[in-house]
């Protein structure tokens, strides 16, 4: 019997999260192969529909990798993303779907290990939940 490998979408800000990703690469650390990164100028530009559409299109989990609250280049971008993630989690819960399929991680630009750890944590969490019931 094969182990379920969830498909994960990661929406990452172009500042802290992308910098952390670059540091992780220089450290020789790799993201799990089942995590697809989509870079955004700022996580505040993310819409709730992006999270829901990713799940509808076949992702088993979605996460947002944004700045620390006090270091967002766009001042309140990551706070906006946090509200959208919370909204989608509540919506999923109301539909009887695990809210843990959607998450937000705060990144520090120089912490490559943290970037990779967030991806691995999300993969493990979603693997334990099993395949998404929202797939087409």
Tokens 């944590």 sit at which residue? 121
Q: For 75-122, how does the pLDDT look when each residue is reduced to its tens digit (9 = 90+)?
A: 777 889 999 999 999 999 999 999 999 999 998 888 889 999 999 999
Buried b (16+ CB within 10 A) or exposed e, 8-26: bbbbbbebbbbbbbebbee
Comparing 42 with 76, which gets the higher pLDDT?
A: 42
pLDDT attached to residue 66 = 87
- Helix crossing, 112-129 with 16-26: angle to 10°? 100
For the segment 42-47, the average pLDDT, to the nearest whole number, is 89
Q: Token pair for residue 49?
A: 């529909």
Q: For 60-79, what is each residue's pLDDT tens digit? A: 999 999 887 777 676 777 88
């Amino acid at each position: 019997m094969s182990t379920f490998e969830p498909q994960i979408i990661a929406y990452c800000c172009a500042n802290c999260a992308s910098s952390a990703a670059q540091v992780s690469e220089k450290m020789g650390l790799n993201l799990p192969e089942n995590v697809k990164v989509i870079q955004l100028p700022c996580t505040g530009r993310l819409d709730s529909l992006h999270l829901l559409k990713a799940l509808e299109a076949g992702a088993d989990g979605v996460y947002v990798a944004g700045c620390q609250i006090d270091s967002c280049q766009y001042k309140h971008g990551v706070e906006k993303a946090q509200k959208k993630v919370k909204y989608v989690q509540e919506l999923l819960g109301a539909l009887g779907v695990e809210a843990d399929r959607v998450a937000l991680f705060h990144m520090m630009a120089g912490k490559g290990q943290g970037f990779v750890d967030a991806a691995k944590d999300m993969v493990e969490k979603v693997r334990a939940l099993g395949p998404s019931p929202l797939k087409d």
